[in-house]
A and B are shown apart, each in its own frame.
Chain A
Amino acid sequence: MSTTSLTTKQSLIIIGNGMVGHHLVEQLVEQGATERYDIVVFGEERHLAYDRVHLSEYFSGRDAASLALSTRGYYTEHGVTLHLHAAVTGIDRERSEVITDQGRHPYNRLVLATGSTPFVPPIPGSDRENCLVYRTLDDLDAIRAAAKNATTGVVVGGGLLGLEAANALRGLDLDTAVVEFAPRLMPMQVDSEGGGLLQEKIEALGVQVLTGRVTQRIENGEASFHRMVFQDEKVLETDLIVFSAGIRPRDELARDCGLEIGERGGVVIDDRCLTSDPAILAVGEVALWNNSIFGLVAPGYQMAKAATGTLLTSSSEPQGGTFHGADMSTKLKLMGVDVGAIGDAHGDRTPGAKMFRYLDEIKQQYRKLVVSSDGRRLVGAMLVGDNSVYDTLLQYYANGLDLPEDPAALILPSSEGTPALGPDALPETAMICSCHNVTKGDIRATLDAGAVDLGTVKDSTRASTGCGGCTALLKSVVDHELEARGVKVDKSICEHFHYTRQELYDIVRVEGIKTFGELIDKHGSPDTHKLGSSSAPMLGCDICKPAVASILASCFNEPITDAAHIPLQDTNDTFMANMQKNGTYSVVPRVPGGEITPDKLVVLGRVAKKYELYTKITGGQRIDLFGARLEDLPAIWGELIEAGFETGHAYGKSLRTVKSCVGSTWCRYGVQDSVGMAIYLENRYKGLRAPHKIKFGVSGCTRECAEAQSKDVGIIATENGWNLYVCGNGGMRPRHAELLATDMDEETMVRTIDRFLMFYVRTADRLQRTSVWRENLEGGLDYIKQVVVDDSLGLGAELDSQMQTVVDNYECEWANAIKDPEKLKRFRTFINDARPDPDIIVTEERGQLRPA
């Protein structure tokens, strides 16, 4: 870092707040540049920098906030001034000022991070209404708005972004076509054979593909809004057109102030990201290095890093390195179709290159290797339909590793799978994450410094937090390195059992063990300390006892207040109420779906008044009664049960509530009876004990008033049935639920939820919500889908019958306890005195009682 000490800070202006512009700010903050510069950022868009790589997810449920890469708070915290929705209109190099509508802003150093703009070919009619582009969130809003009155859509451009745009149109239920000028799709990445295969796959998804078509003009259509006329006078009618025919650097500002511009656009930069004016730098897609524009995020991040070094040092070899160009290898999944291109994928840049090609027309897979003339080195590769060997090939390519004797083995199917390149074969310099420039050596250093798991490595190196393409590779490197260090992760639940929760669950099921005593007797860890000289078994502890209680309840659903189970329960389960900080309890009767009759409301009010309870409406659409004394619980429940209430399991690791909107019964927009569905589901799954609490939501239309996408299980009505979302969470670490299945009828949906819940109950760790379970589950959502929807493990029938057992054995725990005098004995505050605990002192606030 620089040792220069300046009494006054210099002014650094960054124009552009896209992915690269934001990354530059992060790099500058990390390197301490805020001590030297007052940093001011101008962003043209309304939104703070967001993840453009995953832009298409905006149509599949993610919103602007979840795509955001940062927060205003981050900028404020580090003293970086951020002006959004503030376009820069000019640069005055003579006076070193940047001009906006608001005025002039002086700079000492200036960085252009203005990015690029979609290229709209100069076709007559391309400026018509409903001719759009696909680049920003505002563009996507415009596409969504236009799609409302459209039934068909065309994307002009069959490259990477074009296919993404086509997928987005498909997601908006438009009949979609792609028109490509070249004779095949993705001409930059694939050859004609790969392109043909890709086209077949895309067409199989219902997208029409027209290649070799040059649009001559766009005019009024007859059946649709537009008519596109091609070079052969053939026509195509459509309501909506999206241009995605490549990008052009946003170099107007640089052009106007006389910076050197490339022949085909782009601000010329050197290895230090300096433009022809040494006070001005350029990074990202606006920058032209060695006559190339880099239209990917990883090279942009590398430029940001180099620019940070340049801004902080005056030497010609800044710390953090210079920019030497970047590998443009890419791995994509477009509409579910894998496409990969590495290095010189066409083999036309390497004299004497030789090729290996493998085409499987049945599995629809194409793989091509381009090797050096001596067959020793991989210079490029192309993959369509299956990217499973991409990581291995990229490592051969990027690290110049010696190819195996028969390179074809790398792309041929073999009974033992492709010989994978083990992590130990990678050199220290192997680039694992190109977005954040993390090498295998960096990962090893992090582990040497004390990191013991993948999460810590990610946090400290930021590896795989960019495009995420290296996730699997990173995991294998970390696992391998941990193993090599002899790190054995002890997954025992506690000192009493050398098993994970999942293993204990399987033991209980397989052996039909029904009590904790039997389990610890047969399977308790043999080397744990004995209790004194006693030959009596271990007692267990507050970790394993509730966990086993939950497992037993999930499997057999016997009343938790039965004598054998009572010592296992947390106080909340023991007394079937939630202990509060002063030792009193809160009582939450079940209100299925949040629907409650006036009569029942009156009862709740009457009971609360009688027992002097504080009342509050919960987030789960029910009413919580606080401050109940232990000895009053049976009487309170006597009155509630009399009025038809059941226990709400607010105290259990079990189904809590099914929140619902009012649905089609009342709402003008509702398309299904969400309340009816919520009540049905709440009644089905009430009493299911699980590794942690479970919350549901049911919305009657896509307006999503029940906030179902923040629940463990979320259901949203569609015109054709129900969409099912899973593994969402609110709370401390909010997570949007993910779409598991669409347009299901009720029977299919209930069966899918049965299986999903049982699979979770069976495999999750103790106190692990579905969101965390999902994030730790190898294979992620796809794996859940395979097991739950496609029944890939053949577990379906078993999961169904387990759920049926739980449903059949449901009994209201309070109703069960209240008729058993033995069980009620437990609710005495003191066994030898009927008076209440005098230390519970309350005071009045806003007309109710609260702990003093």
Chain B
Amino acid sequence: MNTATAAAKTMTRTWQSLCIRADLVPFSGVAAWVETTEGPAQVAIFYLPGYDTELYALDHHDPFSSANVIARGIVGDLKGQPVVASPIYKQHFRLEDGQCLEDESVTLRTWKVSFKGDEVWIEA
């Protein structure tokens, strides 16, 4: 994808309501459908209550197994960076930017998420 279209798509992202706090599982992930600029996507939402950044959203699709499972991975930190480990082949993905730590060429898409009161909103 060239930078022009990437920029265009980023610009058209809009905030939408996704779910409520009670749908989340602390220190773990859940999956949700989100209508993105690139069409409907399965998104994994991770919730770290009490941390600087409490919410993260990444692709739910695991590029190594081609299964939709990322939300079911174990959340942890490696060298000070929050990560999720794919439950199938155990690669780690940085929650911040989706970068795979084992394979530089692989990155999951990420979205901005935040609480608005008790609701979870995502920019997609």
Binding site for B on A (CB under 8 A): 495, 528-534, 536, 538-542, 545-546, 563, 566-572, 574-575, 579, 581-583, 825-826, 828-833, 837, 839
Contact = CB atoms under 8 A, between A and B. Distances in A.
Contacts of A571: 69, 72-74, 87
A826 to B, nearest CB: 6
Interface string B19-61: 1000101111011110000000010010010111100000001
Q: Which 5 A-B pairs have the closest CB atoms?
A: A529-B80, A541-B76, A583-B67, A567-B27, A571-B87
A744 B23 CA distance: 54
Contact of B87 (A530, A533, A579): A579
B61 to A, nearest CB: 8
Interface of B is mostly: strand
Nearest to B28: A567
A711 B65 CA distance: 32
B18 A567 contact: no
Contact-residue size bin, chain B (C-beta under 8 Å from the other chain)? 35 or more
B115 to A, nearest CB: 15
20 contacts: A529-B80, A529-B81, A531-B77, A534-B51, A536-B52, A539-B75, A539-B76, A542-B73, A542-B90, A546-B74, A563-B26, A566-B25, A570-B74, A572-B87, A579-B88, A581-B88, A583-B88, A829-B31, A831-B30, A831-B45
B97 to A, nearest CB: 14
Given A531-B80, A531-B81, 7 more contacts: A495-B78, A536-B48, A536-B52, A539-B27, A540-B76, A541-B76, A567-B74
A567 B75 contact: yes
B51 A579 contact: no
Contacts of B72: 571, 574-575, 579
Contacts of B27: 539, 567
A829 B42 CA distance: 10
Contacts of A566: 25, 28
A427 B76 CA distance: 51
Contacts of A495: 78-79
A533 B68 contact: no
B124 to A, nearest CB: 13
A830 B25 contact: no
B85 interface: yes
Given A532-B52, A534-B51, A837 B42 contact: yes
Contacts of A541: 74, 76-78, 83, 85
B67 A581 contact: yes
A833 B32 CA distance: 7
A539 B26 CA distance: 11
Given A539-B76, A541-B78, A581-B65, A830 B88 contact: no
Contact of B82 (A531, A826, A830): A531
B19 A837 contact: no
A563 B24 CA distance: 12
A539 B87 contact: no
Contacts of A826: 25
B77 A538 contact: yes
A264 B75 CA distance: 77
A571 B68 CA distance: 13
Contacts of A534: 50-52
Most B Cβ at <10 Å: residue of A542, A563, A572, A833: A542
Nearest to B85: A542
Contacts of A531: 51-52, 77, 80-82
A529 B80 CA distance: 5
A831 B65 contact: no
Contacts of B78: 495, 541
Contacts of A542: 73-74, 76, 85, 90, 92
A530 B32 CA distance: 30
